[in-house]
Amino acid sequence: MPKNAPESSLVGEEYEVEVGPVAHGGHCIARTEEGRVLFVRHALPGERVVARVTEGDETSRFLRADAVTVLDASKDRIEAPCPYAGPGRCGGCDWQHAKPGAQRRLKGEVVAEQLRHLAGLTPEEAGWDGTVVPAEGDKLPAGEVPQWRTRVQYAVDASGRAGLRRHRSHEVEPIDHCMIAAEGVSELGVEKRQWPGMASVEAIAASGSQDRQVILTPRPGARLPLVELDKPVSVLRVEEKDGGVHRVHGRPFVRERADDRTYRVGNGGFWQVHPKAADTLVRAVMQGLLPRKGDTALDLYCGVGLFAGALADRVGDKGAVLGIESGKRAVEDARHNLQGFDRVRIEQGKVDQALPRTGITEVDLIVLDPPRAGAGKQTVRHLSTLGARRIAYVACDPAALARDLAYFREAGYKPRTLRAFDLFPMTHHVECVAILEPAKKDA
């Protein structure tokens, strides 16, 4: 039993179990002979494994565990390509031990279960064919790993060595190379050098340009090291006092490219991590909305203006687009990125507060790309009063999507189509785009 664990702790206990279905979060569900529920990582449905408890005690509703021995393996199991994957190791990936096609099937099962459980929708009712589509170029044979992660936040241990955090832990797993890191991140060589006094080092490799950036978060009172990496790079730091990001040298932004437009993204602001994600999502949203010349549209949680720019191109001079974003720097970037469009306005504020202030009572189209927690009932109800012909909901969390779809249904909107994309290979994350339209009233 670990030091300081409560007397009732079950950490370290081992159970031989039959592994059941996949669950949201990168694990599968199993039950002990006594009926205890285990959330088991590093397992696959249908396997028989020895599961070692990593969290939980006699009073817990469920226990977390790792599959430490596989007694009866699934046909979908492969040996993890990454040497840092496995029980007690790096927590960055969830499905290194599963064939790529199996990973997508598991993600599809999670999306379907969340829709059923939280929205009361079958895949057919959601307009979804049940598939999770890989990004262009990511359909690789088992054992090969797509290098997709254009932003990697390395944790730094007490010795100054960079690594990645272990699952649900502050402990650092030192690594020599992250297999899912994009080539532009890997070529910086962050893992090769020491980072004394740093708590974390975020490496960014823009996919729309050759811009490279590192963002340093010092430990309290530490001085910045001299940054000498293998490629030219801009350096920013996170200030201890206010948490703000400030330029040390080089550009304070990177340039990204999507939908034939260049976007400035400053101070480590949000941009889709997979190099194909921005174009994939813009395509899915525009195909779903089918904007017309003269339409009025909202882009909510608009970031640096990705969807606002795509909408502005398509609604023409007689159309209008309003973007709302809470982050000050992202608003500055969005205004810069879209300054060529007189028909675009960007407002700063939280959507639930800023949207009512605009006085808008009617729009043709809405795009919302909320944070992981979702939009929430209040915002969904407000959006449903605006009479939009179609609404595009971009979701990075299927549970939040399903909850909000239930709120939309209560407010008179139903899904027309839903598409799911595997934009985070090897992890449990999945991106969805739902297109909603007003539900037909009963005659």
Here the tokens at position 104 are: 């997508």
Q: For the chain, what is the mean pLDDT?
A: 96
3-class DSSP state of 39: strand
Q: What is the mean pLDDT of residues 26-39?
A: 97
61-87 pLDDT, tens digit each? 999 999 999 999 999 999 999 999 999
Q: What is the pLDDT of residues 357-401, one digit of tens each?
A: 999 999 999 999 999 999 999 999 999 999 999 999 999 999 999
DSSP state of 389: S
Token match 């929430």: residue?
A: 376
Chain segment 200-255, per-residue pLDDT in tens: 999 999 998 999 999 999 999 999 998 989 999 999 999 987 889 999 999 999 99
pLDDT tens-digit series, residues 45-56? 999 999 999 999
The number of beta carbons lying within 10 Å of the beta carbon of residue 140 is 12
Q: Are strands 172-174 and 132-134 parallel, antiparallel or unpaired?
A: unpaired
Question: Collapsing DSSP states into helix, strand and coil, what is residue 88?
Answer: coil
With CA atoms as reference, report the closest residue to 12 among 64, 76, 85, 77: 64
- 396 annotated active-site: yes
* Element (DSSP H or E) covering residue 156: strand 151-156
pLDDT band at 3 (very low <50, low <70, confident <90, very high): low
Global confidence as pTM:
0.95
pLDDT bucket at 442, cuts 50 / 70 / 90 = very low
What does the block give as tokens for 133?
């589509």
Single-letter amino acid code for the residue at 5: A
pLDDT for 195 equals 97
Nearest to 18 by CA among 52, 45, 54: 45
- Return the biggest CA–CA distance within the chain: 71
The catalytically annotated residue of 82, 93, 178, 396 is 396
Specify the pairing of strand 296-300 against strand 365-368.
parallel
